[in-house]
Amino acid sequence: MKVKATIAYDGSKFFGFQRQVENGENREVTVESKIEEVLQSLEINEKILGSGRTDRGVHAIGQVISFDVPEFWKDLEKLKKQLNLKLSPTITIKSLIEIGDIFHPRYNAKTRSYRYIVANTDPNPFLADYVMFKKNVNLPRANEAMKCFIGKHDFEYFRKTGSDENSTTREIYKAFAYKHRDLTIFVFEGDGFLRSQIRLMMAGVIEYLNRKVTLENIQDQLKKKEKKITKPITHTGLYLAKIKY
């Protein structure tokens, strides 16, 4: 029986989502390796499939995975409770349902949504792994920069070097920022994202807020005319929010 799980995790406690293997051994603890370790303790000796990989330090509140379970675990509510007991507090199974055999969490995904959270306060050591700190975010100006990314673009100049994607064209359906109490939330929704693409887009927004680049600079980089934004923003504050199927 194949199941689909929606999970949340604290990315600061893991070396990314994807398993890192060296000489047949897991090199570091990742979200994938931790979940598979717990599944094995429950006699589920299956590899999991994820909707996408998140880098070290990136959090998730809506990551989707799938895996096969033996018939003796047909009580999925009980399985969910057992998994959460063993995965707590760094990973939580939010939902666990039976899904058809042809379902693939990555290839069947239609949209992916991310949130980048910026605290408009003084730095706080207890939040340092979960937000970026920047006071006085000019919301209209932030949205001017965010609007540049909407649409279909070749994001070759907005990805980390060494990426191995066949195509660098992606479509962004939504890109906007809004205020919530003392936070500014930056929303990105698209058909998919390249490695470090969101962190580089956010770097462009922050540099525009700091008046270090212009809207023309961002647009020229999207057109692959000139690369002004080269360093991804910190991973703290980035969350995989939701996958739609």
Point out the residues that are catalytic: 55
Going by C-alpha positions, the residue among 32, 5, 190 that lies closest to residue 114 is 190
* Three-state DSSP state, 224: coil
Which CA distances in Å does 41 have to 57, 87, 91, 217, 222? Answer: 26, 11, 16, 52, 47
SS3 assignment, position 45: coil
What is the DSSP code (8-state) at residue 166?
S
Cα 145 from Cα 148, distance rounded (Å): 6
Q: Is-contact 112 190, C-beta < 8 A?
A: yes
Task: Say how many CA atoms lie within 13 Å of 74 toward its Cβ.
Answer: 2
170: nearest Cα among 149, 155, 189 = 155
Alpha carbon distances (Å) from 215 to 99, 105, 149, 172: 45, 36, 11, 17
